[in-house]
Chains A and B, each alone.
Chain A
Amino acid sequence: NAGVTQTPKFQVLKTGQSMTLQCAQDMNHEYMSWYRQDPGMGLRLIHYSVGAGITDQGEVPNGYNVSRSTTEDFPLRLLSAAPSQTSVYFCASSPEGGGSPLHFGNGTRLTVT
């Protein structure tokens, strides 16, 4: 029972490099989202998707792109990494509607130098 799987667990980038954080879930959840976690600031929503082919911006979308070509996968792309994007990134999914809670991956710790 894999749940939400994020790769890689750790990544170091130089300023200006690009990369993709991978997220996959095997629970057939319609809703998927990306958060970043910074000390004392909780989790801030970057982008989210309510189904394949549908994405929307969250609170802090600048510098990030997403796509949702399948129900299972929701990759997050950093176009040109900046030190301000040093953070821990979490992918989460949920069945659509009702009180269904979010299921989280274990996170990707990204450092941009």
Chain B
Amino acid sequence: GEDVEQSLFLSVREGDSSVINCTYTDSSSTYLYWYKQEPGAGLQLLTYIFSNMDMKQDQRLTVLLNKKDKHLSLRIADTQTGDSAIYFCAERDYGQNFVFGPGTRLSVLP
């Protein structure tokens, strides 16, 4: 079945860039998403990319998609303490359902 994988933890220093990686298996994925979850809250959409795009930039966020390798990354420039959260990668196929990765817990150190 479909599977989405992410590393579980990432620590960076405040002001550095963070890169969170994700791999997926479903070649029919049409859209790929990044969500952020802060403690005690639901998931908040950060950004998403259509599978025919290679890159999308939105302020401090850059999404890179390598469709051949089924690899998605989220780069956060100038990481701040407020960026500490769990980041989920997700894919959506033609069947409408979403498949989520296990989430990467980002810790930003002062």
- Name A's B-contacting residues (CB within 8 A): 4, 31, 33, 35, 40-43, 45, 48, 50, 58, 90, 92, 94, 96-97, 99, 101-107
B59 within 8 A of A: no
Binding site for A on B (CB under 8 A): 4, 8, 30-31, 33, 35, 40-45, 48, 50, 88, 90, 92, 96-103
The B contact surface, by secondary structure, is strand
Interchain CA distance A104-B4 in the complex, whole Å:
19
Give A58's nearest chain B residue, CB to CB.
B97
Which residue from B40, B45, B48, B88 sits with its C-beta under 8 Å from A42? B88
Given contacts A90-B42, A99-B50, A107-B42, contact A42 B92 (CB under 8 A): no
A96 and B43 alpha carbons, distance in the complex (Å): 19
Set of chain A residues within 8 Å of B30, measured between Cβ atoms: 99
Asked if A104 and B97 sit within 8 Å, CB to CB, the answer is no
State in angstroms the CA–CA spacing of A105 and B40 once bound together.
11
Residues on the A chain within 8 Å of B35, using CB: 104
In the complex, residue of chain A having the shortest beta-carbon distance to the beta carbon of B41: A106
Query: How far in angstroms is the closest Cβ of chain B from A67?
Result: 19
CB-based nearest B residue for A43: B100
